[in-house]
Amino acid sequence: MINSFTLGGIVSSMMGLVVGEKKINGAPERDVESIEIPGRNGDALFDNGRFKNIPIEYKCYIMPEWNLADACTRIKAW
């Protein structure tokens, strides 16, 4: 199975580009708001009901059956 992604309604494999590896850096943290209240020990924490974004890196490759120059031109214009 070829791994691909969609950007602007175009599937990467249609441009000769496939995902080879995925690297997730860490785990998402809860998105909480910390508010200092005078006269209270510690901050009041309010959960926003979601997680913060984390960086995910994808290492992509040009499929071997594609001409390198043609694939680069298409990907650059994409």
pLDDT tens for 1-11 read: 459 999 999 99
Residue 1 confidence (pLDDT): 47
The count of other CB atoms within 10 Å of the CB of residue 15 is: 22
Could you tell me where the DSSP H helices lie in the chain?
68-77
Is residue 60 within 8 Å of residue 20, measured between CB atoms?
yes
The domain locations on the chain are 6-77
Under DSSP, the state recorded for 13 is G
- Ramachandran assignment for 23, one of left (phi > 0), alpha (psi -120 to 50 degrees), beta (any other): beta
Is residue 39 within 8 Å of residue 49, measured between CB atoms?
no
Is residue 58 within 8 Å of residue 25, measured between CB atoms?
no
Global pTM? Answer: 0.59
pLDDT tens-place string over residues 10-32: 999 999 999 998 899 899 999 99
